[in-house]
Structure 1
């Protein structure tokens, strides 16, 4: 089975994902890593770094057949919800609705979500029960209560089973300073860094602290229950902050505790009643506050030791800033250096401008191509200044230049070249950036779809491996075909029982043959049933599933799990006509799937093929099986059938009755004519090696002997029972 955990890299989510993995689930995680850490989950799983509001989440639901969704991704800080209520609503309401909607659309069996004690607001009566009025006092509490209402409504509208948990103060390994239980992680960090603990108030305020592994187990229990609605998830016990400090001091001595003014609005005491949860989910918290804090401290100590062991390369912030400044002024420096070179060449060769190449135009063009319009305009200004200087050095005065059209024409050329080249390069750079952005966007989508494709391929490969290595693999089906290789229908029916039991992994199998008029069925073979549990015959018109199977020629599936109806029933064919039906019971719930339906269909087709071959052989060798003009079998054939019945009794306790018929002046043909009206389709008549006439009655015990003998009574025959198996 597959479970999706949103926020699976977070504090609570990673423990929940770990619990489901330990229970054999395939785990899929969605997390945007705002507060979560990928290193929190070390086992094999499917990972998607996404926000829960993202439309790409649908690709995950479409690609995986998710059985259970656990929605834990959320904004969990009450303080942040007050300063930024919009973000709180987007994460806790919009994100939840997106995942909730996808769960309903893709037929998720169970949707579990995290609510909070914050929905209750200020309560004076303790402990707080689920029936008390919800009056949240923060945007966080409002968003959590809204989420509960959405989940309830989705259950009504779409039949989605939703189960919510109002967490009390959760604490444990991997926790940061956020959430209702964050005070413990804050204390742990300050304790290990030998900083004083800061207590807001006198420390006698109490909370209902619950260890995170107890939370994970409750969620797992909820996923495997039929319960819906909302439950308090807590230990139903008040623990003061001073008690927390006392326990932590026993773990590692505390240097100092500083008590400050209590925050305005903080409640003094809080505890949630968990009796409803304990009763309905058969759950109870396992960890005391002492045990939980000890495990939490061990984690924080180990994490700190690992961090200290890691040597981090020191990068000076000043060097980073200096590098950023240098990168920013580098184009200007290059411009100035290039201008200096051009000015030097121009002044050394004052007549270069009158030649074919104006070095200043060349300079403006190169700078514009390298750095765009801003540096191109700077180059235009510098070139203009240099040009004026050249004119003044040549004996012209400044006033005369203002009347010189050639002078202004040259400046116009500089400006035109600078604008055209600079604009062209800017436009080209803008186009390149846009294309790069599109490429990045397409690459991100490709990487996401590629990861989904890879996950699906992994699942496919794993399924193929399981099929090849499992008990119902091709190798086993091949063995089944070998077991069905018999030219005697009785042997095929007996082998069919063991083949179906082995491949389908069921305990109960029964086979009924159909009479020529398709009105009655006779029991021919069975396994797993008590001696008197099965009827020896069935009237077709009285059993809808039998009639449906015979008329349609298709497998009948008891999808509604009706009483007294097998889980699966399949027809067995001979000459395109239903000659028997085979049914199974006792299939485990997780195996009641399309895969096992197809497996049953393939198995019964193999049995039909074996039966057809056996019946064809009998028709072709009829003269060798029976005495002339009678239905009496020859000794060798009859003995094989008796041996087959004996084997069925030894393996599956299927009874049979063997009668000796002592005849007086009756020929074989007369005997056969008389008994043909008295025997069933599943009974046999034959001679033994001594020439005695024997009657083999299928599925008949010694208790039926007297009734059978009376039915077969004839003036010229006396019947006695030889043996009962």
Structure 2
């Protein structure tokens, strides 16, 4: 498995990467002080290589983005643009994405930072829906490090070491919401180890379980650093623009699903962090490293200084070697011009020739040659001409070599672009080959698929068919926004029968069909309605299932990608809905033939064994988050069973189910009804003389 780490990567260490992603190859987008190894590769971009091209080199399975909001008082410059580039990459590669952000996104107060944090999360959700890739947003407390120069705790340690004084802009009673890198290591490992696509595009909140304050952090620093002074800001009210934000409340999701919760407090690690910081600061920078940095910052100045320094050295050598016979035939000035021109190019070579000429002029004057003789005697011009010629030639050669090196680099970049183009062609060819292979296999196995779907739909209870219909449509259509609505004797309303778990909480339980007259006019037998106007308030596809020319069921697809708005996709929906219609009609006929066997006499009350089977089916639908229900116990008092039936047949819906236990106790299953809705039903029934009680989960399990 290959993983890309990008964003605010200053907190990464080799130990963190190896413990979090064992047996994985990790790509790091940028430089963070982690050395490359067999399992770690650093993507170091150049000026000629854009980030998008750099990312194309690696084909990863997961992308983990560390937001700038993880650093308290950090800089968020370019955060959204960098995040957008990574999301575009995930959209193209269809790789899973984890967005690690700070607590600002879940804070109810409105500040500049919370708006930016919410915008980043909205951007992630938008591209995840658009690109159909899996994504998780994890809101965590701020990170801390003793070696990251941009970190808040690092700046505090710097002030404590240099000034023996720490100033915190926040109040002493403000929350210190920080998360240890070791805890984050374990959390990421568990999320990746048990990646669940059913919980895609969700937000996970890491709670602050330690409830420590900045005052406690400051007091702990005083105990470890003798003589340290710590002062704080004003009283904390939770609304500061740049202040520490409280983490989200503990929703228990991470604890129950992944078995994880924060275990390491900042106060516990503070001593170790201070020692680590001191060890890092005690390492003196080598003189040569300082000299190299200085030379890089002022390259042109150093060239001039080297030229002048070499000129002074040339003058000294010329004086020292002038009286020695073995060096009399060596022109030190010419050697000086050759060296400077060869090293620094034509401009510095001409400057060196000019300095050598000035030195030679003063040498002639020192020997008694006057200005007129020096100017009018052509033989005296030759050394000056030679100096400038040699300086220009050596400088030209150096510039030519530099241009050749630049040409080779450009040629290398061209080869890289060609390689990238060939890699893109290869990936496109591989993807097309994979798609064609899947289409061929699907076409060859189409009869087997139809048989498999028909076998799965060979059921006798409509609710079972609803469950299988959701599974089949999600699998074949690769869409998780399926809705099934039933239409009873009253054609003015449609009741929700089942829906995909991803959209169940956001869709209405009942539809007023008067508002959908445009759809009803186009879903005659054999036809379907397509949302060609892309109205956000309406589903993308609606198919009607009929019984004796009367609409009894609607299957709708809430949303669809642009690749699913094709004629082939519409034909596939029609075929699948036709198979569902056939199976449903057969099941309804079967249930009608068994009505007297399943019910008590000719009443609406099902016998206990059949009612419990129906209750178990509704429970399975709720477990898979396709539907919801509430179970009521009805006390009829002194009423007869017939009198209770007369009341219930008027007060409950066709989709609700009534049952009678062996001890003559009446139970009601209110389909797609929450506990709040069930209380309204109880109020109506109590007004008619029937006392109702909501059956709890534990009592339901005992039935």
TM-score range, shorter chain: 0.3 to 0.5
**TM-score normalized by the length of structure 2:** 0.46
Could you say which structure has the larger radius of gyration? 1
Instruction: Normalising by structure 1, report the TM-score.
Output: 0.45
